[in-house]
Amino acid sequence: EAGVVQSPRYKIIEKKQPVAFWCNPISGHNTLYWYRQNLGQGPELLIRYENEEAVDDSQLPKDRFSAERLKGVDSTLKIQPAELGDSAVYLCASSLSWRGDNEQFFGPGTRLTVL
Amino acid sequence: GQNIDQPTEMTATEGAIVQINCTYQTSGFNGLFWYQQHAGEAPTFLSYNVLDGLEEKGRFSSFLSRSKGYSYLLLKELQMKDSASYLCAVRPRIDYKLSFGAGTTVTVRA
């Protein structure tokens, strides 16, 4: 079974440029998460989707970040414009459901460097 | 947010045992997860505890005490491939939100 797929794996941009990350979750997983992980820290949730609906985006910096999950499958996370402090690894995860002990499966992440 | 504490680094010898402690303070509790993350890779699930006690899975075991807000991950018969960061994550209420600790970097030496 294929895991969570993310692209690109690495991205280097200059500040004020836009950037987008793509995620393809495990087939059949209704719940999709975007996390940000700074160096030496644990992942922090940015947004959660249930199918195509963003049910919690309280941690998403909405002035520059946006996300979508069309048709309840693939998702994209966009930053426009990027700032130096956005340098981090952006992880996508999926699970069958948010309930109970449903394990979250993580993708390999996109490592963003903003110069 | 939630307060989750775990040591920053631990070093052990191949074949030895290491215990990684995690303490937490949350508003309610609905499960604790341990994840392993090798450098530059995705976190992978190791264990889930929701009731007090020890859960054993091969060389890895995880313990939970809800009254003490305490968990540990025990790694036995350490192998070089166990060198990684180990993340403790708590689900504070009956919802989806996982709060992660900063992770413990374990280095296994020959």
Write out pLDDT tens, residues A53-111: 998 888 899 999 999 998 889 999 999 999 999 999 999 999 998 776 778 999 999 99
pLDDT at A1 (0 to 100): 63
pLDDT at B96 (0 to 100): 65
Per-residue pLDDT, averaged over B10-37, amounts to: 93
Whether residue A53 lies within 8 A of chain B, CB to CB, comes out as: no
A101 vs B31, B41, B101: nearest CB: B31
First to last CA, chain B: 39
Q: Do B103 and A41 touch (CB under 8 A)?
A: yes
- Per-residue confidence band for B48, with pLDDT thresholds at 50, 70 and 90: very high
Per-residue pLDDT, averaged over B39-63, amounts to: 94
What are the φ/ψ torsions at residue B74 (nearest 5 degrees)? -110, 125
Q: Do B31 and A108 touch (CB under 8 A)?
A: no
pLDDT at B55 (0 to 100): 94
Distance from CA of B62 to the nearest CA of A (A): 15
Query: Which of residues 57 through 86 in chain A touch B, CB cutoff 8 A?
Result: none
Tell me the count of A-B CB pairs closer than 8 A.
51
- Per-residue confidence band for A43, with pLDDT thresholds at 50, 70 and 90: very high
Residues whose CB is less than 8 angstroms from the CB of residue A23 and which lie 6 or more positions away in sequence, other chains included? A4, A5, A6, A32, A34, A74, A75, A76, A77, A92, A107
